[in-house]
Amino acid sequence: MNQPAFTAHVLDTTRGVPAENISVSVFKINHSGTTLAQEQLATATTNTNGRVGQWNVPLKEVESGIYKFRFETGPYYDALSVETFYPYVELTVHIKKGQHYHIPLLLSPFGFTTYRGS
């Protein structure tokens, strides 16, 4: 696999521009009986195109399982002096080993949406 297992992209739908400088973290979720544990795998910051250009560690291939993406949206809106309902957005997804997953986030101060990108 030449590309990372995960890529991410954030678009500010209110302003009609990519959302730059949003911190993004990836966690592996592990269930053991009634215990839930999270292991942080990587972090990144969106670039001028709103994309995660590179994670702080290589994510070439990951195991199948449940993963969480946390987008720190509060500081983004604070920097714009815009009130927001969401201090962060967490997306939990099921990943299959050997596939590439693009995680886009379409963001506004009082709503968001996402889908499995390509």
Q: Which positions make up the binding site for substrate?
A: 9, 51, 115
- Neighbouring C-beta atoms of residue 16, cutoff 10 Å: 7
CA distances from 84 to 69, 73, 77 (A): 19, 8, 7
Binding residues: 9, 51, 115
Q: Please tell me whether residue 78 adopts helix, strand or coil conformation.
A: helix
Distance CA 9, CA 11 (A): 7
